[in-house]
Structure 1
Amino acid sequence: TSGDISVMLNSVMAAQHPHTFIYRGWEVDTTGNPLAHAILRGYVNKHGESMPNYHFEELERLYNAYTAKGLQNMALIVDANHANSGKKYREQPRICKEVLHSCRHSSDIKTMVKGFMVESYLEPGCQKIGDGVYGKSITDPCLGWEETVRLVQDIADLI
């Protein structure tokens, strides 16, 4: 959404409401999903730079916008990788801890944040297809198993 939270919240609103559409020649009615939620993954600005959006001020701004829209079941997942980490996968633990720190300082943010998306696999980093390292990502770089276990334990200790 290029960092524009109003676009993201409009998507949440649309997902929470019923729709009728044609699919393969059939008219389909949906009831909407009251549990649709927001995901902050950072964004890329017009200069191609990764910009994070997990800091306290952005979380507070999102809470206020969520409240103003009157959406059901306020919920946020913070993507600790992608543009939020500047694609530096080893930053994921620090980002999770910073968000939890924000939760400790604001009951509103604590209410809104429901979890994290973390890129994790068996072996840390990534590889090209055909390099043949078992358990190593062939897409985005990931935390390895040991780093992931440590992160989950740290999160448990902080909540």
Structure 2
Amino acid sequence: MKNPTGGDIEVMLNSVQAAQMPHVFVYNRWAVKTTGNPLAHCILRGAVDPYGTNIPNYHYEDIRRLIEAYKKRDLSYPAIIVDTNHANSNKKFQEQPRIAKEIMKNRQASKTIRNFVRGLMIESYLIEGTQKISENIYGKSITDACLGWEDSEKLVLELAEYV
């Protein structure tokens, strides 16, 4: 579950807890029973304040704060994925490599962070940037701006050195 754009980690953890629990709901006049998803986890994507300012939440202290909040709950799969784009990069997709490396360095420095941070989300496509749908450039994103193939490949190889 992604943190809400306001950044409240308790709301995010409530979502994870709800997703991990069994539910019964009515669908098309049938009672549907679910077992819950024991692998539901947190995704840190940054936040946006009431004035539209992006607030990152991928730094060491942000991750430690989430880990401490996780420890207060009885969740079956305490895991964190960090989104390196969006509010965490101030919507500057070129910042993703720097952010990814910072997270990997923090994983190396702290066994606790290493145990909780299980992955990264990186916006990547064939051609760097973004386009309007009318531009019709094959391999270029029409949604979020992305790293191109060459920068993505370079980043994956650099991140492999931290594993």
Deviation at residue 34 of structure 1 after TM alignment: 0.7
Partner of 1:146: 150
> What is the alpha-carbon root mean square deviation over aligned residues?
0.8
CA–CA separation in structure 2 for the residues paired with 1:148 and 1:25 = 47
CA–CA separation in structure 2 for the residues paired with 1:61 and 1:70 = 16
2:52 to 48, 54, 74: 48
Partner of 1:18: 22
Deviation at residue 133 of structure 1 after TM alignment: 1.8
Report the 3-state secondary structure (helix = DSSP H, G, I; strand = E; otherwise coil) of the residue aligned with 2:101: helix
Identity %: 55
Count residues with an aligned counterpart: 159
Amino acid aligned to 2:149: W
Output the TM-score relative to the length of structure 2.
0.95
Deviation at residue 139 of structure 1 after TM alignment: 1.1
- 1:95-146 superposed Cα distances (whole Å, 9 cap, x missing partner): 1111111111211111001111111100000111121322111111100000
Output the TM-score relative to the length of structure 1.
0.97
- 1:38-74 superposed Cα distances (whole Å, 9 cap, x missing partner): 0000011111111100000000001111011121111
CA–CA separation in structure 2 for the residues paired with 1:70 and 1:95 = 30
Amino acid aligned to 2:31: E
Report the 3-state secondary structure (helix = DSSP H, G, I; strand = E; otherwise coil) of the residue aligned with 1:130: helix
Partner of 1:121: 125
CA–CA separation in structure 2 for the residues paired with 1:73 and 1:132 = 41
- 1:68-94 superposed Cα distances (whole Å, 9 cap, x missing partner): 112111111100001000110000011
Partner of 1:136: 140
Could you list the runs of 4 or more consecutive aligned residues of structure 1 that deviate by over 3 angstroms after TM superposition?
none
